């Protein structure tokens, strides 16, 4: 039953790109139902996610700027609280428990986060600009490729120079699970919030200034770094560097897929080719 909840949530995220666009909603309802039956969710969690869905929909459809602002602020606050696991009613299952993936590395733990994954789905489906055709996707990939290369070099290069990670080629048995869970329930949510929601709306509000888009990029990257300061100052700096890459990819294409691609590619390369998640202090 727990697996069914996350399977339907994953299908709902994928359905956000399908026609008709409303296909994601019944799949999301099924995910909520299975989550309730399986003990992943309590009724209060479903109530909060319902409020977020209604608020995000209202923000997308509002006719007046003040309505979009109020509903957008509420959607943003709820999204951030859910993504940071600050709201009650969620029992996210533990998938990887303090596994040491690299010699001298800190132990790694991974949860399947329904709250964060649901935030990603709601923002993606209702408030993010997505590609609408294969031709458009090919153009997005073409424009994203150089940003991806620069982001990998800058972020991982700084991480190696700072001693946070070292080269460590590996393909542990947890690899495919890590990639799937990280993509669907972490990366999509973070990019939908920081780029598709926050950066896009800030850039729109500052569109009359020639520097508006750049300020929106900087704000989204700095806030992304700040959100990762729990891992330490160096980790926050690395997240900020990566965040600039994700923000650049979004600004260059105006499509959420670009930011998602750069983000998951960096995470996968880090996981497979370098110390993961980081070296222990003094090692």
Closest Cα to residue 247, out of 210, 279, 215?
A: 215
Q: Would 280 be classed as within a structural domain?
A: no
| pLDDT value of residue 22 | 83
Q: Would 177 be classed as within a structural domain?
A: yes
| Encoded tokens for 209 | 């200034």
Contact 178, 110 (CB under 8 A): yes
Q: Is the pTM of this model over 0.75?
A: yes
| pLDDT value of residue 282 | 64
φ/ψ of residue 8, rounded to 5? -70, -35
Q: Would 71 be classed as within a structural domain?
A: yes
Q: Would 281 be classed as within a structural domain?
A: no
Residue range of the domain that includes 99: 2-273
Average pLDDT over residues 246-255: 98
Average pLDDT over residues 97-112: 95
Tens of pLDDT, residues 6-36: 999 999 999 999 877 789 999 999 999 999 9
Residues 6+ apart with CB under 8 A from 226: 236, 240
- Whether 231 shows a pLDDT value over 90: the answer reads no
- Whether 283 shows a pLDDT value over 70: the answer reads no
Average pLDDT over residues 115-136: 97
The overall longest dimension of the chain from CA atoms, in Å, is 57
C-alpha 166: how far from chain center? 25
Q: Would 130 be classed as within a structural domain?
A: yes
Residues 232, 153: Cα–Cα separation, whole Å: 21
Mean pLDDT of the chain: 96
User: DSSP character for 164?
Assistant: S
What are the start-end ranges of the E strands in the chain?
94-99, 108-111
Q: Would 240 be classed as within a structural domain?
A: yes
Average pLDDT over residues 245-252: 98
| pLDDT value of residue 267 | 98
Tens of pLDDT, residues 205-218: 999 999 999 999 99
Q: Predicted confidence band at 99 (pLDDT cuts at 50, 70, 90)?
A: very high
Q: Would 278 be classed as within a structural domain?
A: no
Average pLDDT over residues 255-261: 98
| pLDDT value of residue 20 | 74
Number of domain units in the chain: 1
Q: Predicted confidence band at 76 (pLDDT cuts at 50, 70, 90)?
A: very high
Q: Would 38 be classed as within a structural domain?
A: yes
Residues 277, 232: Cα–Cα separation, whole Å: 13
């Amino acid at each position: 039953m727990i697996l069914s909840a996350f399977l339907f949530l994953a299908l709902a995220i994928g359905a956000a790109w399908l026609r008709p666009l409303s296909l994601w909603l019944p799949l999301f309802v099924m995910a909520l139902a299975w989550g309730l039956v399986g003990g992943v969710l309590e009724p209060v969690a479903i109530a909060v996610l319902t409020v977020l869905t209604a608020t995000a929909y209202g923000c997308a459809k509002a006719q007046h700027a003040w309505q979009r602002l109020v509903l957008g602020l509420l959607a943003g606050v709820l999204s951030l609280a859910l993504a940071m696991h600050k709201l009650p009613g969620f029992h996210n299952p533990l998938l990887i428990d303090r596994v040491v993936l690299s010699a001298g590395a800190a132990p790694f733990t991974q949860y399947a986060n329904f709250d964060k994954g649901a935030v990603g789905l709601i923002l993606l489906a209702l408030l993010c600009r997505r590609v609408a055709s294969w031709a458009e996707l090919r153009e997005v990939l073409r424009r994203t490729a150089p940003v991806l290369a620069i982001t990998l070099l800058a972020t991982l290069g700084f991480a190696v120079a700072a001693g946070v990670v070292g080269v460590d080629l590996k393909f542990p048995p947890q690899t495919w699970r890590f990639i799937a869970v990280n993509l669907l329930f972490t990366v999509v949510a973070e990019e939908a919030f920081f780029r598709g929601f926050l950066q896009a709306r800030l850039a729109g509000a500052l569109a009359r200034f020639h520097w508006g888009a750049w300020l929106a990029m900087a704000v989204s990257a700095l806030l992304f770094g700040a959100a990762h300061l729990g891992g330490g100052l160096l980790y926050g700096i690395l997240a900020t560097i990566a965040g600039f890459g994700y923000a650049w990819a979004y600004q260059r294409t105006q499509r959420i897929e670009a930011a998602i691609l750069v983000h998951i590619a960096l995470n996968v390369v880090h996981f497979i080719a370098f110390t993961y998640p980081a070296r222990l202090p003094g090692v």
